[in-house]
Amino acid sequence: MAEIILPGGERWKRGISSDLVIIGMNRNLDVTAFSKKGERLTGFRRSEVLGKKAWETFLPREHLDEWKGYLDSCGEGEVPILTKEGKFVDIYSTFIRINENDVCVFGIEAGKKCSQQGKREEEKKINQTGKKLEAETISKAVESILENRDFLESEWKRLGKTIDDIEKLVISLEEERKNLLREKAELERKKVETSKYLDKIMKSLNKKLKQKGKPKKANQNKETKRKGYALDVQNIKSFPEIADMPALVVKKGIIQAVTPSFSKLVEYDENELLNKKFFSLVPVDQLMRVGEYYLNRIRKRDVPNEYETVIMTKSKKPLQVKISASQINWKGEKAELMVIERLV
């Protein structure tokens, strides 16, 4: 009974005649198995051939192509092998593929006498051995597939849970987005309403101011001085006290002049600020308070000259500021001079 080491290190011991030469090789002709009969027939020990190229030991180089042909086709036929003493011995061999890379060669010495019945029995055993090897290889492959399937199923379940969590997060983010859009729309609506309200009040005040100012137009400069508007400003940049400070002149809610420092502070060009509504620089949540303060100053009510608020830059960046306001005579008309101090 023969015992061989199959590719991968597994020991194979079955009811095979000890007269069989059994050789295992891969596609690169590396020797992976070698039976006791092979040792006796060639004189090479198993340790001398395993892991080496076949043509370095028992495979004649001049017959290399012949061996490769049988290895590729997995057929059967008579092939020569080389003994350690350099002699050629012909063996009748059957080449059986074990897996994609490995082939097992079952051979018997061609000159050995055996009955036809014995030869058939040997061939039958060779075929049975090949089928068992193939069956076991397939069985191991199936086991591996089943193990991988269990792993893949667990990974799929885990992935499914992750997908569910992501879907819930997407739904939550979508709701949050809708809420933010509703809040934005509501703020825009309030801003428009507040702006309309302030415009309406400003128009009413301007109308009253015009009616009151008509009979006094001839002595306007004297009148403004008597009321306390002693500062007569024609050009804001001509006053060295404020020329280098962030400051602006506002008349009837409209920006009339600005200093370069103020333009830089709010990130606008000077031409962009001229004739722009001052309240467009005030955020929605501050509009009512600042508008009320401005109107109370026009109505000459008792309000402080300084107050803190927020103004917006061109890039929508909020700035905490303190505004110092003074009523002035701007080119013959009443206006507000605002000096801005940034707090943060």
Taking all residues of the chain, what is their mean pLDDT, rounded to a whole number?
A: 78
Q: pLDDT tens digits for 1-59?
A: 444 444 444 444 444 456 678 888 887 888 888 888 889 888 999 899 998 988 888 88
Give the orientation angle of helix 284-298 with respect to helix 116-213, to 10 degrees. 10
Residue 228 CA, distance from chain mean position:
66
Range of the domain at 280: 221-342
Number of domains in the chain: 2
* Alpha helices, DSSP H, located in 88-115: none
**CATH number reported for the structural domain that contains residue 239 in this entry:** 3.30.450.20
Contacts for 267 with CB less than 8 Å, ≥ 6 apart = 313, 314, 315, 317
325 within 8 A of 309, measured Cβ to Cβ: no
Evaluate whether 81 touches 91 at the Cβ level (below 8 Å): yes
Q: What is the mean pLDDT of residues 47-75?
A: 87
pLDDT band with cut points at 50, 70 and 90 for residue 192: confident
Question: What pLDDT sits at residue 204?
Answer: 66
Does some domain include residue 102? Answer: yes
- 284-289 mean pLDDT: 88
Residue 94 belongs to some domain of the structure: yes
Give 102's contacts (C-beta < 8 A, 6+ positions apart).
Answer: 7, 24, 25, 26, 32
Is residue 88 situated within a structural domain?
yes
Of 42, 66, 49, give the one whose Cα is nearest residue 5.
Answer: 49
* 3-class DSSP assignment, residue 76: strand
- Asked if residue 27 belongs to a domain, the reply is yes
Does residue 197 form part of some domain? no
Q: Is residue 245 part of a domain?
A: yes
Most confident of 77-86, 106-115, 207-216: 77-86
In a domain, 284, yes or no: yes
The pLDDT, as a whole number, for residue 76 is 83
Q: Domain for residue 85, yes or no? A: yes
